[in-house]
Structure 1
Amino acid sequence: MKSPAQVVVVGGGALGMLSALLLAEAGQQLVLLEARGTGSESSWAGGGIVSPLYPWRYSAAVTALAHWSQDFYPGFARQMWEDTGVDPQVHVTGLYWLDLDDEAEALAWAAREGRVLRGIDMASVHEQVPVLGEGFTRAIHMPDVANVRNPRLVKALRAALAAMPNVELREHCPVTGFIQEDGQIRGVITSDGEVRAERVVLAAGAWSGEMLRTLGLELPVEPVKGQMILYKCAENFLPSMVLARGRYAIPRRDGHILIGSTLEYAGFDKTPTDGALESLKASAEELLPALKDAEVVGHWAGLRPGSPQGIPFIGEVPSHPGLWLNCGHFRNGLVLAPASCRLLTDLLLGREPIIDPAPYAPAGRLG
Structure 2
Amino acid sequence: MQVGAESEVAVVGGGVMGLLTALNLSRAGRRVRLFEQQSVGREASWAGGGIVSPLYPWRYGAAVGALAAWSQGFYPQLGQELFTATGVDPQVCRTGLYWLDLQDEPQALAWAVGGGRSVQQVSAELLYSRLPMLGRGFQRGLWMPDLANVRNPRLLDALRKILLLEGRVELCEQGAVGSLQANPEGGMSFRAGGRKWSYECVVLAAGAWSGSLLAVLGLSLPVEPVKGQMILYKCAKDFLPAMVLAKGRYAIPRKDGHILVGSTLEHAGFDKTPTEEALASLKASAEELLPGLADAEVVGHWAGLRPGSPDGVPFIGEVPQYPGLWLNCGHYRNGLVLAPASCQLLVDLMLGRDPIVDPTPYSPAGRLS
Q: Quick check: TM above 0.5?
A: yes
What is the count of residue pairs matched by the alignment? 364
Equivalent residue, structure 1, for 2:13: 11
CA 1:213/1:205 → structure 2, altered by over 3 Å: closer, same or farther? same
CA-CA distance at 1:356 after TM superposition: 0.1
Looking at structure 1, the residues matched to 288 and 92 of structure 2 have their Cα atoms a distance apart, in angstroms, of 27
Looking at structure 2, the residues matched to 249 and 128 of structure 1 have their Cα atoms a distance apart, in angstroms, of 16
Gaps of 5+ in 2: 1-5
Q: Among residues 106, 114, 117, which one is paired with 1:115 in the alignment?
A: 117
Q: In the alignment, is residue 145 of structure 1 matched against residue 142 of structure 2? A: no
Amino acid at match of 1:268: F
Equivalent residue, structure 2, for 1:105: 107
Q: Provide the TM-score with structure 2 as the length reference.
A: 0.97
CA-CA distance at 1:187 after TM superposition: 3.5
Greater alpha carbon shift after TM alignment, 120-129 vs 78-87:
120-129
Equivalent residue, structure 1, for 2:58: 56
Greater alpha carbon shift after TM alignment, 181-190 vs 347-356:
181-190
CA-CA distance at 1:13 after TM superposition: 0.3
CA-CA distance at 1:339 after TM superposition: 0.2
Equivalent residue, structure 1, for 2:211: 209
Look up the SS of the partner of 2:221 in the other structure.
Answer: coil
Runs (4+) off by over 2 Å: 182-188
Percent identity among equivalent residues?
A: 64
Looking at structure 2, the residues matched to 186 and 312 of structure 1 have their Cα atoms a distance apart, in angstroms, of 22
Equivalent residue, structure 2, for 1:165: 167
Amino acid at match of 2:205: A
CA-CA distance at 1:195 after TM superposition: 2.1
CA-CA distance at 1:186 after TM superposition: 2.9
Which aligned pairs between 1:158-197 and structure 2 lie closer than 5 A?
A: 158-182=160-184, 184-197=186-199
Cα offsets for 1:228-250 (capped at 9, x unmatched): 00000000100000000000000
CA-CA distance at 1:183 after TM superposition: 6.3
Looking at structure 2, the residues matched to 184 and 365 of structure 1 have their Cα atoms a distance apart, in angstroms, of 22
CA-CA distance at 1:196 after TM superposition: 2.2
Gaps of 5+ in 1: none
Asked whether the equivalents of residues 187 and 198 of structure 2 are also in contact (C-alpha less than 8 Å), the reply is: no
Amino acid at match of 2:89: D
Equivalent residue, structure 2, for 1:343: 345
Look up the SS of the partner of 1:91 in the other structure.
Answer: coil
Cα offsets for 1:312-347 (capped at 9, x unmatched): 000000001110000000000000000000000000
Asked whether the equivalents of residues 186 and 200 of structure 1 are also in contact (C-alpha less than 8 Å), the reply is: yes
Equivalent residue, structure 1, for 2:42: 40
Cα offsets for 1:242-300 (capped at 9, x unmatched): 00000000000000000000000000000111110000000000110011111111100
Asked whether the equivalents of residues 101 and 141 of structure 2 are also in contact (C-alpha less than 8 Å), the reply is: yes
Looking at structure 1, the residues matched to 215 and 99 of structure 2 have their Cα atoms a distance apart, in angstroms, of 40
Cα offsets for 1:42-62 (capped at 9, x unmatched): 010000000000000000000
Q: In the alignment, is residue 239 of structure 1 matched against residue 234 of structure 2? A: no
Asked whether the equivalents of residues 306 and 330 of structure 1 are also in contact (C-alpha less than 8 Å), the reply is: yes
Look up the SS of the partner of 1:324 in the other structure.
Answer: strand
RMSD: 1.0
